Amino acid sequence: MLSRVAASFYWLSRYIERSDGMLRMLKINYASSQDTIQEFTWAPVIRIFAGQGEEETERLDNNTRAVLKYMVTGKDNPNSILNIITLSRENARGVQEHIPKDLWQCLNEYYHTVKDPKIEKALQREDPIGVLDILIKQVMLYYGTAEITMERGEGRSFMNIGKYLERAIQSVDILDTKFGSVSDNPDLLTDTSYWKHLLLSLGGYELYLKTYREGFEASNILEQVVLNNDFPRSVIYSVNNIQRYFDRLKNNSNADDFRELSFQIGRLQSRIKYSSVRSIEQDGLHQYLTQIRKELYGIGNALNAHYFANS
């Protein structure tokens, strides 16, 4: 497969996964902002998904409607849903002859939905939950269509590597930010709504209730989001799938590149697999997550160097 084509598959999938994480986080945080009697801060969400400086974060912080506009349809925000879905569509256009027509139409519909001026108006004037649900359903439609129409070849492997790499980075960033807030404000440690919203934003609330009977405990949430092999948004689940789909790229023409990157993925997989909540807490959660994030970015950089460099 040409490096340009591989890179397009990888990036279109990363952008779609990023949009999914953002939409779910915005939905849960909007609901949370309606429940609280105190002034609600959007700063953690802006820092995780927009990467803006403190000045821009402070400008938006307590203005819910301004945050929704900036994060969903903001043309001046490089990481808005509108801008990343535009990039995803451009990547898909570049490989249009390699993807099923149904998948292209699905992505095209997502693009035109988020681009529709009615979306921005509805976000500002109506209940944003309904608007965010429309966009979340577009992502779910995309994933369902990709699952049943994509050929099980290299293109799908690059798509899934991109999806799970993006998902792992998101889970690490969310955990690091949320537990960092607890360090700054210890009262949050016993705030059940705080932990509930964290789990809801990751789609892990129901699994948590089935797994743990003793209520919300920070250590249990850490275990589920980092170490639970059955949780689709856990870090270990994502890294296992990066390894699984990367293994399918092995062939005689790329043995050296494959061996080097496979070592990096395997090292990260082992680091997480042989961790425990106790060992993570002993090492320091922030230091642990910082190292995991560094290795995930290292894998992304190695993919770029070894597989996409000529794109």
Q: Digits of tens for pLDDT over the chain (311 positions)?
A: 788 999 999 999 999 999 999 999 999 999 988 877 777 888 888 888 877 667 777 787 778 999 999 999 999 999 999 999 999 999 999 999 999 999 999 999 999 999 999 999 999 888 899 999 999 999 999 999 999 999 999 999 999 999 999 999 999 999 999 998 888 888 888 888 889 999 999 999 999 999 998 889 999 999 999 999 999 999 999 999 999 999 999 887 778 889 999 999 999 999 999 999 999 999 899 999 999 999 999 999 999 999 998 66
pLDDT at residue 183, rounded to an integer: 80
Helices (H), the chain: 3-35, 43-49, 54-60, 64-68, 81-94, 101-115, 117-125, 128-149, 154-184, 192-201, 205-211, 218-227, 235-247, 255-273, 277-283, 285-307
pLDDT at residue 50, rounded to an integer: 75
pLDDT at residue 311, rounded to an integer: 60
Enter the pTM of the model: 0.94
Q: How far is CA 285 from CA 192, 222, 247, 292, in A?
A: 20, 9, 30, 11
**Would you kindly state where each structural domain of the chain is located, as residue ranges?**
1-150, 154-310
